[in-house]
Amino acid sequence: MGEPVKVSFADVFAVGGTFHLFYGGGYAKVDSADFSFTTASYGFDIDGSYKATRALGGLGWGVDMGAAAQIGEKLILSFELANVLGSIPWSNEIKSEVGYIRGDSLTVLNADENNNDEDVVDDSSWTVEGEKFSTKLPAAVRLGCLYREGAVVLTADYYQSFKNGAWSSSKPRFAVGTEWQKIPWLPLRAGVVLGGRIGFGTSFGFGIRPGKFVLDLGIMNRGFIFPKNSKGLIIALDMGVGF
């Protein structure tokens, strides 16, 4: 959803927002974990404990807000705040896993004499019912720039989340890319990304767009362009019909 706004510094300026629905299939987090290993003249001591929470099936929502400005016929600038509002509540199958391990005055000799770890090491784990909770979606900022020169489109992108998470990083990520549109129904793309969770990556892709049909495929190689230095591949596929 967007709305154009008349301004003096751009030919076209628009502000808008996007509403998302999210379904979380599962949640798991280690709430706390510690372990100590202490050596002494009589032997060694161990002491450790942990607590983890898990849940299933969370349905949540998120809101993005942004603005874009077109300057002349070739340049477009954009700004976005992702997940300004939003969270995923968890209320199904909430469990807390708790456990510990302890051992005092342990030596190789007393372990061999007992021939049973349970006689010298005390450990236990149990599961308790957890309470309902919700997780906030990681807010992030994105700055983008697009420049068009004939059949070539150049883009630059800056992205940074405000906290670390499973799919987010507080480390800034920079990306540059290009798209060749000489054949309107077969755009070709390539790009480079640096920073964030990815580190360094190279990518390429293409689109097939005859008429209203849209199919886009992209492949990113984590690491350098040569396969022996690769840390894995990320593949994205998008298909739809435009109206």
Please give the model's pTM, rounded to 2 decimal places. 0.74
The pLDDT of residue 141 is: 96
Whether the Cβ atoms of residue 161 and residue 174 lie closer than 8 Å to each other: no
Task: List, for the chain, all residue ranges whose pLDDT scores fall below the cut of 50.
Answer: none
Alpha-carbon distance 64 to 16, whole Å? 8
Question: What is residue 39's predicted lDDT score, i.e. its pLDDT?
Answer: 86
Output the DSSP codes for 163-207: S--SS--SS-EEEEEEEE-SSTTS-EEEEEEEETTTEEEEEEEEE
pLDDT, position 80? 97
- Tell me if 229 sits within 8 A of 201, measured CB to CB: no
The rounded distance, in Å, linking the Cα atoms of 80 and 160 is 11
- Please answer whether residues 96 and 127 qualify as being in contact, where contact means their C-beta atoms are separated by less than 8 angstroms: yes
Choose among 183, 176, 191: nearest CA to 151: 183
pLDDT at 113: 53
- What pLDDT, on the 0 to 100 scale, is given for residue 183? 93
Q: What is the pLDDT of residue 224?
A: 64
Please report, for the chain, the start and end positions of each structural domain, with discontinuous segments joined by +. Answer: 1-25+67-91+130-146, 171-242
Q: Which of 10, 14, 19 is nearest to 137 (CA)?
A: 19
Gap between the Cα atoms of 24 and 29, Å rounded: 14
First to last CA, the chain: 16
